């Protein structure tokens, strides 16, 4: 069932349920690195201190939020006189408006995420209680972005043209997004998610948010210290290109994910104070995903500061993009990949390869600004051909297969008619 590469199932330290961050309760464990790897000091699988193979819990689909908008906390009211809009395959391009390829590739990802499309029309941003002046400013900025995203998604869903634009959406963003300077797409994703309320509000929490726990364990007394963190994207370090080329072994996204979660024993130069021993001791550290998200956004960390050059450098490391990822008993299926093409970190172009997150009978398409055409899937195979050496997968979107199907998006009829009128005016001109 894999599309692009091999997989190793992930290991669970205790039984756990899946769900959006904030709805999850898991007192003792999470998803650590894959089967076949040694995690603990004692040579057993799972988290350090486990002495048996853990039992994988069955996916609990009901933990994904499927409540109607009317009873979802933070949801806007849905007009009873609404129009259901079917999810369409990749069919509409986005015009490049002064170097906006980074935004185009991201907007396509949101449009292809059924749950985001279904949820955004009933979502209204909430102002925090006891909001500071900065909170109020962010709320007004976020509310504009929410409104423009609703219109953008509606335009893309309803248009009969081969392409549309993002001009109105860009007006809701800070000035530098309209300056003509190329922006980093991962920073754009994080800024947008923050402006949509992040994990504190229902839209991002239900669609993209998960929870992980960074753990350290004293080698002497085995005391474990945990630090929980909610995430809406997961950064996976990419090995250096020269190391991969010399070894001849191309990493897969599953291997990079397992490496991110795997147990690591720190050396004597990285002693950490242990509250149990009351002294600095050697420790091991690892990470567990305690609440897997409904949709997983992975950022492959390709850009870093080069001390010798005094500038950002790009690692064009080949990576085999797995069509399926395993996090414990949960299987994630790839549906969108943002590609950076260019020799350096400060130049280049973004385009995307994608399909609908659910039920996409027409398969994959390449979305390069206003052009939409059948995709060349060899880009995700990890090959290093002369033609593709500068085209590198950068951001990946996966959907959990155990999540329930997404209901059709519903547009308030008045909004639906306004977008259709705008489309008709465009046709006449």
Residue with tokens 């993002």: 166
Confidence of residue 322 (pLDDT cuts 50, 70, 90): very high
Q: How many angstroms separate the CA atoms of 240 and 238, rounded? A: 7
**pLDDT value of residue 357:** 96
Q: How many angstroms separate the CA atoms of 364 and 275, rounded? A: 53
**pLDDT value of residue 380:** 92
**pLDDT value of residue 268:** 75
Q: How many angstroms separate the CA atoms of 308 and 306, rounded? A: 6
Q: How many angstroms separate the CA atoms of 295 and 305, rounded? A: 30
Q: How many angstroms separate the CA atoms of 20 and 294, rounded? A: 7
Q: How many angstroms separate the CA atoms of 374 and 151, rounded? A: 27
214 beta partners: 227, 287
> Which two three-digit tokens encode residue 365?
């398409």
The three-point CA angle 134-70-170 to 5° equals 40
> Which two three-digit tokens encode residue 349?
């172009």
Q: How many angstroms separate the CA atoms of 57 and 198, rounded? A: 28
Instruction: Kindly report the average pLDDT of the chain as a whole number.
Output: 80
Confidence of residue 43 (pLDDT cuts 50, 70, 90): very low
Asked if 11 and 45 touch (Cβ cutoff 8 Å), the reply is yes
At residue 256, does pLDDT exceed 50? yes
**pLDDT value of residue 429:** 61
Of 235, 376, 378, the C-alpha closest to 302 is 235
Q: How many angstroms separate the CA atoms of 353 and 234, rounded? A: 19
Asked if 313 and 304 touch (Cβ cutoff 8 Å), the reply is yes
**pLDDT value of residue 394:** 95
What percentage of residues in the chain have a pLDDT greater than 70?
A: 79
CA torsion sign, 6 to 287 to 339 to 164?
A: positive
Q: How many angstroms separate the CA atoms of 234 and 395, rounded? A: 10
The model's pTM: 0.81
**pLDDT value of residue 414:** 76
Confidence of residue 32 (pLDDT cuts 50, 70, 90): low
Residue with tokens 């305690």: 290
Chain segment 80-117, per-residue pLDDT in tens: 678 888 888 888 999 998 899 999 999 999 999 999 99
State mean pLDDT over 163-189: 92
> Which two three-digit tokens encode residue 289?
């995903």
Chain segment 329-340, per-residue pLDDT in tens: 999 999 999 999
Chain segment 284-320, per-residue pLDDT in tens: 899 999 999 999 999 998 887 666 777 778 888 889 9
| The 3-state secondary structure of the chain, one letter per residue | CCCCCCCCCEEECCCCCCCCCCCCCCCCCCEEEECCCCCCCCCCCCCCCCCCCCCCCCCCHHHCCCCCHHHCCCECCCCCCEEEECCCCCCCEECCCCCCHHHHHHHHHHHHCHHHHHHHCCECCCCCCCCCHHHHHHHHHHHHHHHHHHHHHHHHHHCCCCEECCHHHHHCCCHHHHCCCCCCHHHHHHHHHHHCCHHHCHHHHHHCCEEEEEEEEECCCCCEEEEEEEECCEEEECCCHHHHHHHCCCCEHHHHHHHHHCCEECCCCCCEEECCCCEEECEEEEEEEEECCCEEEEEEECEEEECCCCEEEECCCCCECCCEEEECCEEEEEEEEEEEECCCCCCCEEEEEECCCCCCCCCCEEEECCEEEECCHHHHCCCCCCCCCCEEEEEEEEEECCCCCCCCEEEEHHHHHHHHHHHHHHHHC
**pLDDT value of residue 5:** 37
324 beta partners: 333
The three-point CA angle 181-340-258 to 5° equals 130
Chain segment 343-387, per-residue pLDDT in tens: 777 778 999 999 999 987 778 999 999 999 999 898 898 876 777
Higher pLDDT, 308 or 157: 157
Please tell me which of 119-123, 305-309, 388-392 the model is most confident about, judged by mean pLDDT. Answer: 119-123
């Amino acid at each position: 069932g894999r599309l692009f590469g091999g997989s190793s199932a992930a290991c669970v330290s205790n039984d756990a349920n899946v769900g959006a961050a904030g709805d999850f309760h898991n007192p003792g464990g999470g998803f650590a690195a894959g089967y076949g790897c040694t995690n603990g000091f004692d040579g057993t699988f799972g988290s350090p201190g486990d002495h048996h193979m853990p039992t994988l819990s069955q996916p609990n689909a009901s933990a994904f939020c499927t409540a109607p908008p009317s009873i979802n906390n933070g949801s806007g009211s849905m007009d009873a006189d609404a129009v259901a809009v079917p999810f369409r395959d990749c069919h509409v391009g986005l015009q490049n408006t002064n170097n906006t390829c980074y935004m185009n590739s991201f907007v396509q990802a949101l449009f292809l995420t059924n749950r985001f499309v279904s949820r955004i029309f009933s979502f209204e941003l909430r102002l925090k209680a006891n909001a500071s002046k900065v909170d109020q400013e962010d709320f007004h900025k976020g509310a504009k972005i929410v409104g423009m995203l609703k219109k953008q998604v509606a335009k893309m869903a309803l248009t009969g043209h081969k392409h549309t634009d993002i001009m109105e959406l860009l007006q809701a963003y800070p000035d530098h997004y309209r300056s003509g300077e190329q922006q980093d797409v991962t920073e754009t994703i994080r800024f947008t998610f923050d402006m949509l309320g992040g994990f504190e509000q229902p839209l991002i929490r239900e669609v993209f948010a998960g929870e992980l726990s960074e753990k350290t364990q004293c080698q002497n007394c085995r005391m474990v210290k945990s630090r929980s963190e909610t995430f809406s994207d997961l950064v996976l370090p990419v090995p250096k290109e020269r190391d991969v080329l010399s070894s001849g072994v191309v990493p897969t996204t599953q291997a990079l994910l397992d490496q991110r979660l795997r147990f690591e024993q720190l050396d004597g130069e990285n002693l950490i104070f242990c509250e149990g021993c009351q002294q600095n001791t050697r420790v091991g550290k690892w990470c567990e995903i305690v609440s897997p998200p409904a949709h997983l956004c992975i950022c492959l960390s390709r850009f870093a500061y080069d001390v010798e050059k005094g500038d950002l450098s790009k690692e064009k490391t080949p990576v085999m993009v797995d069509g399926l990822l395993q996090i414990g008993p949960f299987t994630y299926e790839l549906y969108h990949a943002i590609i950076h093409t260019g020799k350096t970190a400060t130049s280049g172009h973004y385009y995307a390869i994608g399909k609908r997150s659910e039920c996409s009978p027409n398969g994959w398409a390449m979305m390069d600004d206003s052009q939409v055409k059948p995709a060349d899937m060899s880009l995700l195979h990890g090959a290093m051909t002369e033609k593709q050496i500068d085209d590198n997968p950068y951001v990946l979107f996966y959907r959990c297969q155990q999540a329930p199907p997404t209901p059709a998006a519903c547009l308030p009829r008045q909004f639906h008619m306004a977008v259709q009128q705008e489309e008709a005016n465009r046709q006449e001109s």
